[in-house]
Structure 1
Amino acid sequence: MLITLFRTLGRWPLPALHALGWLGGWLVWLASPTYRRRWREHTRRAALRGWARWASVGAAGQQVAELPRLWFGPPVPVGWRGAAHIEAALARGNGVLFLTPHLGCFEVTPRAYAERFGVQGRPITVLYRPARHAALDAVLRQARQRPGMAAAPTTLAGVRQLMQALRRGEAVGLLPDQVPPQGLGVWAPFWGAPAYTMTLAARLAQQPGVHVLLAWGERLPWGRGYVVHVHPWAEVMDAPLAADPAQAAAQINQAMERLIRRCPQQYLWGYARYKQPRALPQAT
């Protein structure tokens, strides 16, 4: 039933979904005091003001509403800025690690890579958190398995899957500002406050020969599609990634902040970034 609903919505025009999402974002903001309080705290911590702050409310709803089209609908228009960095990294024959914050349409980034590079023999494996509800988890698994793209759950088995992909010279993508399970992170500053931050991103980046790229998908206005932005680490950060896990986590958080500053109105400021980590899921 849920997959049928997603497939039906996936046939809707992108402008209509974005309009619906914008309305839904505001309805959730108005209806949920908890969400509203968290959004206020996070935007104030980042000193976000004016139009960009208020626009993020509707953009959060758009991020949800566009998922059926991205997962089950016809292709959407996608442009690139910085694709040459991917081509250069793949030409070296080593693994490529994409780090993407909860910014813009982060679902479109691995899909765009899979359509352009993955089908040519260099697939991408993305880390995802399994849904708590079985029906929704089935939707996620089906949506994230496509030519040139595979999904790895946030379990120890999933981590091994990512490591193996990099050793084969493939690409891996993850959201380093996602709160990891207990024992898989350290407390590091994010917008000036301690946030439990994954050490996995640094561990993967420090694997031999791995090339780190920062990427995010900009949502264009009026449903015109997306632009995937790709940046080398050195373009965003002045220093190389530290060997110490806590220092590396702080650097990655700072890199994510700098990406977010480029388009703050499309960041998920209502995401519970400062919550306590949950227990580590058991491998299956």
Structure 2
Amino acid sequence: MSLPMTRLFWLFARWPLVALHALGWLGGWAVWLASPTYRRRWAEHTRLAGLRGRERWASVGAAGQQVAELPRLWFGPPVPVGWEGAAHIEAALAQRRGVLFLTPHLGCFEITPRAYAERFGRHGAPITVLYRPSRHAALDALLRPARHGAGLAAAPTTLAGVRQLMQALRRGEAVGLLPDQVPPEGLGVWAPFFGRPAYTMTLAARLAQQPGVQVLLAWGERLPWGRGYVVHVQPWAQVMHEPLAADAVQAAAQINRAMEALIGRCPRQYLWGYARYKAPRPLAPGAA
């Protein structure tokens, strides 16, 4: 990352949320208008999900807001965060077993682990989140410190990273990941997502099936006019009403349905332009 871009990044970190969200809204529409490929993908994905009207069009600007708010979340002053369902986390932590958070590309998915770390991680219940390192070394070096902090650690998408997640669960700590992220070839199965086969990671189910692990579904809602965020938390059983299957394909389909249920709560804030149905990339050397 060039020095001017780095300085610009730090400048945006000091902006108020309302200004960043306004800038992001414009950016989201600019990308939508400038990229026919993105526009076609967005149209197809929203059609598959049955999204229409105002909710559908609002998702264009919301995608840009998700990008524009990142400098503030990573490097800026704290933002207001409310909770809905924090009692579920408290009950899970009281049992001193591992807790697995599953979060789709919905709303502000960067705020959920940070809010958890601020409220619970600083007091002896840290969280480790899975992330894909940037292909650009300079950008990765800039963001690496932002992904670590008091009560918050990050595990890369490598074999060592998966071991890090397993160890955290065995210690009775929390782990978080995005199960609707397309994994490399060989690390997933094809399962329905809004009625169309999507290559779906098996890691989420493997972690959920570890002895004693409790699964919570979470997402961060972006409030209008820069008022902050609300983190919503629900137990798996409250959303799905069925245990997770042992079969990998069945479990992946269940997790996809759980993500659909969360997305249905606020479809305007889902990243419909994400290439969810793309073919998996070849497995890189050292990847998990």
CA distance in 1, matches of 2:218, 2:284: 27
- Partner residue of 1:185 out of 178, 188, 197: 188
Kindly state the Cα deviation for residue 235 of structure 1 after the two structures are TM-superposed: 1.0
Match of 1:195?
198
What do you get for the CA RMSD once the two structures are aligned? Answer: 1.0
Which residue matches 2:280? 277
Q: Does 1:59 align with 2:27?
A: no
TM-score by length of 2: 0.97
Gaps of 5+ in 2: none
Q: Where does residue 174 of structure 2 map in the other structure?
A: 171
Matched, 1:32 2:26: no
Equivalent position amino acid for 2:114 in 1: R
Which whole-Å CA distance do the structure 2 matches of 1:281 and 1:73 have between them?
A: 34
Q: Structure 2 matches for 1:62-81, cutoff 5 A?
A: 62-81=65-84
User: Would you say 1:10 and 2:48 are equivalent positions?
Assistant: no
Separation in structure 2 between the aligned mates of residue 237 and residue 260 of structure 1, nearest angstrom = 14
Describe how 1:133-282 pairs up with structure 2 within 5 A. 133-282=136-285
Preserved contact between residue 155 and residue 281 of structure 1 (Cα < 8 Å): no
**CA deviation map 1:125-182 (0-9, x unaligned):** 0001111111221222121011110001111111111001101111000000000111
TM-score (norm 1): 0.98
Give me the identity figure in percent.
Answer: 82
CA positional deviation for 1:78: 0.1
Following superposition, the deviation at residue 279 of structure 1 comes to 2.1
C-alpha distance in 2, partners of 1:231/1:3? 38
Q: 2:132 maps to what in 1?
A: 129
* Residue 95 of structure 1, aligned match among 95, 98, 117: 98
How far apart, CA to CA, are the structure 2 residues paired with 1:139 and 1:79? 28
Superposed structure 1 runs of 4+ greater than 6 Å apart: none
Displacement of 1:281: 3.0
* CA distance, structure 1, for counterparts of residue 138 and residue 7 of structure 2: 11
Q: Distance in 2 between matches of 1:113 and 1:159?
A: 20
Are 2:93 and 1:106 aligned? no
User: Over residues 76-97 of structure 1, what are the superposed CA-to-partner deviations in whole Å (9 max), with x where a residue is unaligned?
Assistant: 0000000000000000000100
Alpha-carbon distance change, 53 to 201 in structure 1, aligned in 2, over 3 angstroms:
same
Paired with 2:145 and 2:44, the residues of 1 have a C-alpha distance of: 35
Q: Residue 154 of structure 1 contacts residue 281 of structure 1 at CA under 8 Å; is this kept in 2?
A: no
1:50-91 alpha-carbon deviations (Å, 9 max, x no partner): 000000000000000000000000000000000000000000
Gaps of 5+ in 1: none
Shift in Å, 1:8: 1.6
What is the CA distance between 1:108 and its match in structure 2? Answer: 0.1
Distance 1:153 1:279 in 2: 17
Q: Distance in 2 between matches of 1:14 and 1:178?
A: 26
Mapping for residues 110-121 of structure 1, pairs under 5 Å? 110-121=113-124
Instruction: Name the SS for the 1:231 alignment partner.
Output: strand
In the other structure, the counterpart of 1:85 is 88
Paired residue type of 1:36: R
- Using the alignment, how far apart are the partners of 2:84 and 2:284 within structure 1? 37
Cα distance in structure 2, aligned partners of 1:128 and 1:67: 15
> Counterparts of 2:160 and 2:189 in 1: how far apart (Å)?
20
